[in-house]
Amino acid sequence: MQNNKQIDHVGTISDIKDEKITVSILNISACAGCHAKSACSMSDMKEKEIDIIDYSSSFKLGEEVKIVYQESLGWLALFLAYVLPFILVLITLFIATAFTNELISGLIALGILLPYYSLLYLFKDRLKKTFSFTIHKIVNI
């Protein structure tokens, strides 16, 4: 059984250039929705822009839309950005410690991040296709 949970946000189309649609969404942290947000400095509301490729030409500037992506893709992104690099650093640290001193081992372990993130950068176009959003019209009945 496959988990197909979706995460969606409502936003407004701020720019359209050919097939690329830019949607502005308001990203609100949990603190921003709290009734006591004025009492602390933790409230966090940021406007973010998300680019979506759509070939339907059925959207117009200023239109309110819903953008959707699969929750599983968020977990994959988390794994690629944080978990896998952490594992690589630890493995590199343990292997390098067997052959050299702690200072050099630490530098080599941190240095492994440079080729890793460079490799992610080289595959950014392919990753953009994997981590894509879909856009839907909001239908008011």
Residues 39-74: tens digit of each pLDDT: 555 555 677 887 887 777 788 888 888 888 777 777
pTM of the predicted model, to two decimals?
0.61
Domain count, the chain: 1
How far is residue 64 from each of residues 14, 34, 47, 125, measured CA to CA in Å?
10, 25, 15, 27
> pLDDT band for position 30 (50/70/90)?
low
In a domain, 1, yes or no: no
Quote the CA–CA distance of 21 and 14 in Å, as a whole number. 8
Domain enclosing residue 23, as ranges = 6-137
CATH code for the domain of 54:
2.40.50
In a domain, 113, yes or no: yes
Strand partners, 21: 16, 52
Helix axes 102-111, 113-122, angle to 10 degrees: 10
Which of 66-80, 81-95, 122-136 ranks highest by mean pLDDT?
A: 81-95
In a domain, 54, yes or no: yes
pLDDT at residue 92, rounded to an integer: 95
> pLDDT band for position 1 (50/70/90)?
very low
In a domain, 36, yes or no: yes
